[in-house]
Amino acid sequence: MKLLIWGYQMNNEIHESVLDMIQTLELDGHDVSVMDKFAENLNISDSVVTVQSDKIPSDIEFLIAIGGDGTLLSAAHAVMVRPIPILGVNLGSLGFLTGLERQWKQGLKDILSGHYHVENRMVLNCVIRHQDGSEDQFWALNDIVIERRDNFSMLPIRVDVNDDYLNTYLADGLIISTPTGSTAYSLSAGGPIMDPILEAIIITPISPHTLSVRPIVIPESKRIYLQLPNPENEGRIHIDGRESREITSSDRIRVRTSSYKIQLVSWSGATFYKKLRTKLHWGSRNS
């Protein structure tokens, strides 16, 4: 198979794991390359084939993202318009998106022997339309977050679903999340956990002023329109925690389900429900 190893972080554990993985894969007859900036960080550029992050060959069969969920998100954005499956190897902290953990060897061997399945994960499309008619367009695998910019006052955010007014949230911000992102920022803000293969959109307020305001889950077919209703309001919009833009009351924001899907490789030994039990310590008792 033709494989590309992707990453950004560098520490001794990652360095040793990447070298071990390259050796293991090449001995098994696989064609292995490494993302150029990752190879530079690991100081192995002279000994491996490198690939630029914006010039990924179309014949790559698997992209192996080594790090944590943030690393996998960066890989997802790199292949957003291409159906290249991503296998995440968690050498970070939580790793809800990754398919393998630190003891990756047996799982990787099973996967490359064909014992795996690919999950198509929903992606959100976000368009910011400015007063002059120009637009910015983004895609998010996890979430789109609107927060106050640089003050401590509550931020009012008007939300319409299709042509139906939902609410004007008075809160620290608002999270629009996919089911994949339900275990990220949305969960920290009190949002529901959803099976990531579902297709729906979660709207979760961040520290709302009114206690009766709760997260809501809407069908993936709906379109969400957001606006800061007061002229003096200023905020920031964050896409998967990677890109951000300042927004004002003159901006109109539309969020909908994208036609793109991100393909995540899943190993039979690492199901979503097993991850929930393990990573959230469900069923364990503190002494």
Largest CA distance in the chain: 62
Residue 69 is a catalytic residue = yes
Taking a C-beta distance cutoff of 8 angstroms, is the pair 265, 111 a contact?
yes
> Cα(149)–Cα(134) distance, rounded to whole angstroms?
22
One of 20, 36, 69, 251 is an active-site residue; which one?
A: 69
d(CA 262, CA 71): 14
CB 173 within 8 A of CB 159: no
Taking residue 265's Cβ as centre, other Cβ atoms within 10 Å add up to 20
Q: How far is residue 215's CA from residue 242's CA, in Å, rounded to a whole number?
A: 23
Helix (H, G, I), strand (E, B) or coil at 222: coil
Closest CA to 279 of 69, 15, 12: 69
**Exposed, middle or buried, 152 (CB in 10 Å: 0-12/13-18/19+)?**
exposed
247's enclosing H/E stretch is: strand 243-248
What does R_g of the chain's alpha carbons equal in angstroms?
20
Known catalytic residues are 69
